[in-house]
Amino acid sequence: MNKIFLIIHREYVTRVRKRSFIIMTLLVPALLAGMFGTIAYLANNKDQTVHIVNVIDNSHQFKGKFANTKTLKFNYPDQSLNAVKASLNDDDVALFIPAGKKDSSELYAKKKNTLALSDDIQQQMNSIVSGDSLVKMGIDTAQLHRVKSNVVVKTVEMTAEGDKSTSIGSAYALAFAGAILIYMSLFIYGAQVMRGVIEEKTSRIIEVIVSSVKPFQLMAGKIIGVGLVGLTQFALWIVLSYLVSNMVGHNVTAQNSTYQFIHTMASSAGYELACFGFYWISGFLLYSALFAAVGSAVDSETETQQFMFPITLPLLFTYILSVSYLFQAPDSTLAVWLSIIPFTAPVAMMVRIPFHVPGWQLGLSMSLMVVGFVCCTYVAARIYRVGILMYGKKTNFKELAKWFFYKE
């Protein structure tokens, strides 16, 4: 056991002292600060271009009825369509409304305009047509506007502790953030384990190391050491990002939606963070064991592709489903099964956690994650003990199966 701790200590200390680790640990929160600050600034200081809308109304229904806005100024020139088109500037447009067919109206411009511009014009046209229709029916539109209401429905969750106000947007944000962080980090830190094994194997250092420690001890020490590095970096990112979010929040308007989103994400703790920690650790241990086995079976990183795709396919499949389907149906049968199967659970469960997973499903998923890690580590260790001493031989899955059944 002391030998495993020595390997863990070496892997951890060596990596956290690297300049790249320190730079990335500080750079990510700094980039977040810059990104969120830029978003907040742009949200409060929009560069709004004023468009002159020249209306040629052959239907004689809209003249003088359009309302000017911050970005739209309506003009009614007494000219033909061709004459107006010839005099247009880059930011000006010409709205041609034919007689009898208002749905055939056309918007002319020298360059492509934003979708918001045409939507604003369409909304005003629809309001004008609706208002005229109400007047013809003898309905007072002024009174109708006065009785209009703006109903807002707030979501409230009933819990054992009482009713709690909830935010669907925050739940989706947490689900998306958890899924993408798990997906990316398993690849990043798992690949570090694999590269470390390949480097030691190709440099022949492994032959000296295994004379002092057992292959399983070496593999376990390397996996746990890199995992602790990842946890350290994540912990620092969470703390620094929380501080960054508060700094950004004090420099933007309190009602700014961007700040509210940042603060919700950065201050999420307790249940969600505990589940994230468990699935990150268990998922990392499971996949890193497989990555270590792959690293021991090849002589260079270019040879890993044939093994990496089948191993990472479940994770990739679940991530694609997460951003396209699971967010919309977190309690569907597919989502439940994906959150229970160990190879897909780290990503799928992160999508479901903000929507409160039943206790028995969470317990079963966590139990199977532990069982999956133990089984994968056992299989990987038996391949690892043979592969690290194999050189110059093209390996395939059939060969890996033979290594697994080799006797000690």
pLDDT band per the 50, 70, 90 thresholds, residue 366 = very high
- Domain 51-142: give its CATH code: 3.40.190.10
Centroid of chain to Cα 50: 35
For 247-270, the pLDDT digits (tens) are: 655 554 444 444 444 455 444 457
Residue 255's pLDDT is 42
Take residue 122 and report the two structure tokens written for it.
């369409």
Q: Exposure string (b/e) for 73-88, b if CB count within 10 Å is 16 or more?
A: ebeeeeeebeebbeee
For 3-44, the pLDDT digits (tens) are: 888 888 888 888 888 888 888 888 877 787 777 677 667 666
CB distance 381 to 215 below 8 Å: yes
Which strands sit side by side in the sheet containing 93-97, from one edge to the other? Answer: 72-75, 51-57, 93-97, 106-109
CB distance 222 to 292 below 8 Å: yes
Within 13 A of 106's CA, how many CA atoms are on the CB side?
A: 9
Amino acid at 123: Q
Please give the angle made by the CA atoms of 72, 75 and 81, to the nearest 5 degrees: 115
Cα distance between residue 225 and residue 221, in whole Å: 6
* Domain boundaries along the sequence of the chain: 51-142, 168-405
For 255-309, the pLDDT digits (tens) are: 444 444 445 544 445 777 788 889 988 998 899 888 888 888 887 777 787 888 8
pLDDT band per the 50, 70, 90 thresholds, residue 151 = low
| Residue 218 CB coordination number (10 Å) | 25
Higher pLDDT, 75 or 3: 75
CB distance 95 to 105 below 8 Å: yes
Highest mean pLDDT among 70-79, 167-176, 396-405: 70-79
Torsion angle of the four alpha carbons 388, 390, 391, 396, in this order, in degrees rounded to the nearest 10? -100
How much is the pTM?
A: 0.66
For 100-123, the pLDDT digits (tens) are: 766 678 888 877 666 677 888 888
Residue 363's pLDDT is 92
Q: Exposure string (b/e) for 120-152, b if CB count within 10 Å is 16 or more?
A: bbeebbeebbeeeeeeeeeeeeeeeeeeeeeee
For 206-241, the pLDDT digits (tens) are: 777 777 788 778 888 888 888 888 888 888 887 777
